[in-house]
Amino acid sequence: MGHRDDDEGPASRPLRDKRGLVNRVRRLRGQVDAIERALAGEASCSDLLQRIAAARGAISGLMAEVLEEHVREYLLPADGEAEQRQADAAEELIEIIHSYLT
């Protein structure tokens, strides 16, 4: 189930909440910078582990959001012509994604 982002592939819709995703990435960058500062400052292992876990959670949340958007874009039709079963399956897949990644 691949899709192409080049000119030959189907036109994709823009992300619904691009600003929110950019904000997530900026917070993630701040967390990674904090890890680097902690390493340079000789922080304790427990402090480093806490910062790394927070960054990992942030990247997992970002991944879940983008995957959710992908599922909504490619499995749920914009015009509502699909049957309810397809919509229910997409929502179930989104829940699974969130449960494993966040």
Predicted pLDDT at 59: 93
Task: Report if pTM > 0.75.
Answer: no
Classify domain 18-101 by CATH number.
Answer: 1.20.58.1000
60/79 Cα distance (integer angstroms): 30
Domain ranges in the chain are: 18-101
Percent of the chain at pLDDT exceeding 70? 77
Q: Letter for the amino acid at 23?
A: N
Scan for tokens 């997530």, then name that residue: 24
Predicted pLDDT at 28: 96
Q: Letter for the amino acid at 68?
A: E
Which uninterrupted H or E stretch holds 38? helix 18-40
pLDDT digits (tens, 9 = 90+) for 4-30: 444 444 455 567 778 889 999 999 999
pLDDT digits (tens, 9 = 90+) for 59-68: 999 988 888 8
Q: Please report which confidence band the pLDDT of residue 50 belongs to, taking 50, 70 and 90 as the band edges.
A: very high
Residue pair 76/87 in contact by the 8 Å Cβ criterion: yes
